[in-house]
């Protein structure tokens, strides 16, 4: 039986995003071996993660914009090639600096995979069928979270380099498949690329991330604008103003003014930032388990399995519901479930079964937010010629929430009467933010069926 072209396209997108997601999941088990191999301290070792996050954050909107200009197929395939080159650099690194260079190159390649994949779905599927496709791709990260540490533990037996060399044969298959199966599209703009806007955006993001990194979680209010962090805050603010002015004048801006002015996209952005905050909070759940139940750190990690399972299943269900009832009710349901789960986690005393029930609620709620619905709305509001840029803007909001969440939640924990009290206060804070997002989401448009493009009418 011949597999329909759009299903083969979806398989290529799923596999490509999975390669990038697995790389994040398998690096954790490799860190002790990398530290021993290069003799670096823990602070330096953190840059294996931090540099990757920073570079992928900068790359995502720029690569997504390039896909609007030069077509999805070539940009997606190039992203895979760059990611493979970075993997090779990491695996062959003779020094720690070389390894960090490889991680930066990897991040540039990986940064555009999810936004471009979502834009390809919009180019390939009619609006009434996009939800299930986006839901399948959204489930990638939950799957990677489950199998990544297992795969990493198996490959570590043969050396940490194999965690990165494994990417190469996969990419060798995916690049030609992408060039063959992804839809061909012509350049949408002959105007010069907005290099000034891209440079300002990069400065804005680097300064903002560096400012957050300088914040002392133990003295959060006092450290927000003091010492070394104040110049970074000034640079970020200056770059933000300059970026806005440049985007208003540019012939083909990174983010068109219509995207930045759209009330609906601002609402989507607020929900996305709130979602990123909750994501950051979930990173602390194993520590909460250790404090609340006295389990070992390894056992605490396994206690997240109900949450991860709910995230995988929920991503698929959210995609199917999106096609049937629209994005707004799915997003609102996700926010309500997330807030309920956070309140259950913050209750005192916290029982083991209420922990699992709360984790399942949060997993289902996040699935409705991280998977298809927000991406669907961003695609719809951005319009056909700016789908990549719209996905890049959504990715930025999610990342801002994740970065801010780590600093804010760390501040709650550090300043609480005890670690457990700090976690509870942080979870209550996240519940309040999520509830505010749920209220704001009432202003989202109800289901609006945009007119299909000529390509979509033929799908």
Domain ranges for the chain, please list them.
1-182, 252-459
Q: What is the DSSP letter of 446?
A: -
pLDDT class of 454 with cuts at 50, 70, 90: very low
What Rg do the C-alpha atoms of the chain give, in angstroms? 21
Q: Beta-carbon neighbour count of residue 316 at 10 Å?
A: 18
Query: Is domain 1-182 classified as CATH 3.90.1150.10?
Result: no
Question: Quick one: angle between helices 5-38 and 167-181, nearest 10?
Answer: 150
> Scanning the structure block, which residue is given the tokens 């996240």?
430
Which pLDDT does position 458 carry in this prediction? 38
Does the pLDDT value for residue 1 go beyond 70? no
> What average pLDDT does the segment 368-376 reach?
81
Q: Beta-carbon neighbour count of residue 2 at 10 Å?
A: 6
> Scanning the structure block, which residue is given the tokens 């194993």?
286
Whether 48 contacts 99, CB under 8 Å? yes
Which pLDDT does position 81 carry in this prediction? 95
Which pLDDT does position 3 carry in this prediction? 44
CA distance 347 to 428: 9
* Weakest-pLDDT range from 57-71, 85-99, 295-309: 295-309
**How would you classify residue 294: left for phi > 0, otherwise alpha for psi between -120 and 50, otherwise beta?**
left
Which pLDDT does position 282 carry in this prediction? 80
Which pLDDT does position 261 carry in this prediction? 79
pLDDT class of 390 with cuts at 50, 70, 90: confident
* Weakest-pLDDT range from 11-15, 78-82, 399-403: 399-403
Which pLDDT does position 435 carry in this prediction? 95
Does the pLDDT value for residue 79 go beyond 50? yes
Q: Beta-carbon neighbour count of residue 277 at 10 Å?
A: 25
Which pLDDT does position 169 carry in this prediction? 92
Does the pLDDT value for residue 453 go beyond 50? no
In 124-260, DSSP assigns E strands to: none
CA distance 434 to 282: 14
Evaluated on CA atoms 207, 209, 212, 213, the torsion sign reads negative
**How would you classify residue 227: left for phi > 0, otherwise alpha for psi between -120 and 50, otherwise beta?**
left
In 84-227, DSSP assigns E strands to: none
> Scanning the structure block, which residue is given the tokens 């300059």?
242
CA distance 29 to 150: 9
pLDDT class of 155 with cuts at 50, 70, 90: confident
CA distance 71 to 179: 11
CA distance 307 to 136: 17
Which pLDDT does position 301 carry in this prediction? 72
pLDDT class of 450 with cuts at 50, 70, 90: very low
Which pLDDT does position 215 carry in this prediction? 60
More confident residue, 86 or 49: 86
> Scanning the structure block, which residue is given the tokens 């605490």?
300
For residue range 191-211, list pLDDT tens digits in order. 777 888 888 988 888 888 777
Query: Mean pLDDT in the chain?
Result: 81
More confident residue, 296 or 238: 238
| CA 378 to mean position of chain CA atoms | 14
- Show the DSSP H helices in 303-386 as ranges: 305-325, 327-346, 352-370, 372-382
Which pLDDT does position 313 carry in this prediction? 86
Which pLDDT does position 219 carry in this prediction? 52
Question: Quick one: angle between helices 263-283 and 352-370, nearest 10?
Answer: 150
Is pTM beyond 0.85 here?
A: no
More confident residue, 137 or 83: 83
| Domain covering 252-459, topology | Growth Hormone; Chain: A; (1.20.1250)
For residue range 163-202, list pLDDT tens digits in order. 889 889 999 999 999 998 888 765 555 677 788 888 898 8
Q: Beta-carbon neighbour count of residue 355 at 10 Å?
A: 22
Which pLDDT does position 457 carry in this prediction? 36
- CATH fold match for the domains 1-182 and 252-459: yes
> Scanning the structure block, which residue is given the tokens 């070539």?
74
pLDDT class of 339 with cuts at 50, 70, 90: very high
Which pLDDT does position 418 carry in this prediction? 77
């Amino acid at each position: 039986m011949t597999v329909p072209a759009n299903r083969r396209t979806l398989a290529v997108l799923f596999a490509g995003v999975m390669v990038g997601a697995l790389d994040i999941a398998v690096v954790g088990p490799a860190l002790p071996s990398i530290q021993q191999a290069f003799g670096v301290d823990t602070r330096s070792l953190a840059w294996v993660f931090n540099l990757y996050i920073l570079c992928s954050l900068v790359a995502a909107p720029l690569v997504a914009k390039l896909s609007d200009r030069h077509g999805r197929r070539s940009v997606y395939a190039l992203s895979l090639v760059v990611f493979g080159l970075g993997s090779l650099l990491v695996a062959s690194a003779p020094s720690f600096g070389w390894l960090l260079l490889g991680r930066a190159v990897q991040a540039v390649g990986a940064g555009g995979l999810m936004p471009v994949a979502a834009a390809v779905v919009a180019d390939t599927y009619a609006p009434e069928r996009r939800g299930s496709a986006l839901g399948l791709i959204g489930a990638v990260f939950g799957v990677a979270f489950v199998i990544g540490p297992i795969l990493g533990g198996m490959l570590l037996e043969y050396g940490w380099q194999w965690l990165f060399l494994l990417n190469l044969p996969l990419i060798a298959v995916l690049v030609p498949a992408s060039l063959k199966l992804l839809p061909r599209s012509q350049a949408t703009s002959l105007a010069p690329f907005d290099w000034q806007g891209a440079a300002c955006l990069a400065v804005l993001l680097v300064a903002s991330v560096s400012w957050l990194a300088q914040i002392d979680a133990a003295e959060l209010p006092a450290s927000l604008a003091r010492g070394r962090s104040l110049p970074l805050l000034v640079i970020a603010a200056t770059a933000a103003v300059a970026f806005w002015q440049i985007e208003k004048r540019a012939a083909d801006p990174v983010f068109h003014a219509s995207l930045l002015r759209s009330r609906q996209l601002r609402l989507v952005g607020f929900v996305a930032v709130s979602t990123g905050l909750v994501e950051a909070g979930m990173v602390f759940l194993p520590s909460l388990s250790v404090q609340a139940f006295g389990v070992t750190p390894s056992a605490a990690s396994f206690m997240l399995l109900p949450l991860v399972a709910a995230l995988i299943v929920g991503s698929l269900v959210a995609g199917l519901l999106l096609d049937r009832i629209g994005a707004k009710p799915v997003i609102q349901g996700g926010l309500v479930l997330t807030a309920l789960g956070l309140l259950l986690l913050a209750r005192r005393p916290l029982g083991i079964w209420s922990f699992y029930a709360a984790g399942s609620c949060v997993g289902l709620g996040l699935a409705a937010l991280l998977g298809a619905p927000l991406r669907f709305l961003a695609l719809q509001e951005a319009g056909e010629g700016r789908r990549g840029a719209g996905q890049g803007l959504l990715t930025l909001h999610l990342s801002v929430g994740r970065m801010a969440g780590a600093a804010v939640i760390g501040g709650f924990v550090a300043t609480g009467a005890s670690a457990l009290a700090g976690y509870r206060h942080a979870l209550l804070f996240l519940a309040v933010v999520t509830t505010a997002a749920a209220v704001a989401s009432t202003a989202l448009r109800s289901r609006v069926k945009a007119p299909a493009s000529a390509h979509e009418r033929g799908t």
